[in-house]
Structure 1
């Protein structure tokens, strides 16, 4: 289990990402994760450190291990988004879509838009641009000051679905 002090130190380390070298940042995160007391959280943060410094392929393994170790809470949702993104960028977009579908089935929260963004980019990577645009427009619609229903119906039309009344 992590505590507030550890979480604050982790947040402070993330704030220094751009000021540190890639390997230096990853090592600092590994050192911090070793102190955290929650294997799943530590693995998630180390995976994120790899991902954010361009070691994307390495990140996937950490993300998978974090999930297997029982990662929960908001980090569970974030790991799915980050792992799907990493899978997409390392040439495994079909696996990324499976991760996204599994995460969608887990429910809805503040990260729905980020999940939709990841899905839209993954669909585009697979050459399914119209589906990706449909996902992105559907996610955008609730944030528009007007035209929400029209936007959703246009998005549905892109993929051959009937409009909603």
Structure 2
């Protein structure tokens, strides 16, 4: 993928003057520059539709991008975004499975906290609010200027002793 292409894609995402339909149109135009079935283009098209509230269309494109194969960063992002989308569409169990796998896959990865946040949201959707709070607090704890150890301990306690 050319750096220029990604720069232009990033510029569309950064342009806050565009409405969601314009983002979809512009991302689609950029995706058309890529070969048919290009995973990165599919991923960007999925994200544009997801942001525009077209979750059903986004789901198909995320799945195709993941099947074709993405680099590790985009694979993680696509997995998180797909899981969030299908959770919104009511497929909570699959979303939980995807997010649990992503959350456990790389505990020190750059997107681990993002995976934790969306995993917690899916847990809430499945009725597991205490476990969701535990996951969210464990992700938050390392970022606290103080009380990291205490919050981590309490988060683990919630997970180990649910009501």
The question of a shared fold, defined as TM-score above 0.5 by the shorter chain, is answered with: yes
Q: What are the equivalent positions in structure 2 for 1:125-164 lying under 5 Å apart?
A: 125-160=125-160
Unaligned runs of 5+ in 1: none
Q: Structure 2: any 5+ residue segments left out of the alignment?
A: none
Displacement after TM superposition at 1:104 (Å): 3.1
Quickly say closer, same or farther: Cα 1:105–1:159, change in 2 above 3 A: closer
Pairwise mapping of residues 1-165 of structure 1 onto structure 2 (< 5 A)? 2-16=1-15, 18-37=16-35, 39-107=38-106, 108-160=108-160
Following superposition, the deviation at residue 105 of structure 1 comes to: 4.4
Tell me the CA shift for residue 20 of structure 1. Answer: 2.7
Q: Secondary structure at the match of 1:159?
A: helix
Aligned partners of 2:84 and 2:109: how far apart in 1?
Answer: 18
1:13 Cα offset (Å): 1.0
Query: Alpha-carbon deviations, 1:131-150, whole Å to 9, x = none?
Result: 00000000011111121121
Q: What is the CA RMSD across the aligned residues, in angstroms?
A: 1.5
Deviation at 1:116? Answer: 0.4
Q: 1:6 touches 1:36 (CA, 8 Å); kept in 2?
A: no
Instruction: Kindly provide the CA deviation profile for residues 94-131 of structure 1, in whole angstroms up to 9, marking residues without a partner as x.
Output: 11111112223432411111000001111011111000
Question: Against the structure 1 CA distance between its residues 137 and 51, is the aligned structure 2 distance closer, same or farther, given a 3 Å change threshold?
Answer: same
Judge conservation of contact 2:66–2:75 (CA < 8 Å) in 1: yes
Q: Structure 1 residues 44 and 120 mapped into 2: Cα distance closer, same or farther (>3 Å)?
A: same
Superposed CA deviations along residues 11-64 of structure 1, whole A, max 9, x for unmatched, are: 111122x42343332122111012134700000000000011111121111111
Q: For the Cα contact (< 8 Å) 2:40–2:65, is it kept in 1? A: yes
Question: How many aligned residue pairs are there?
Answer: 159
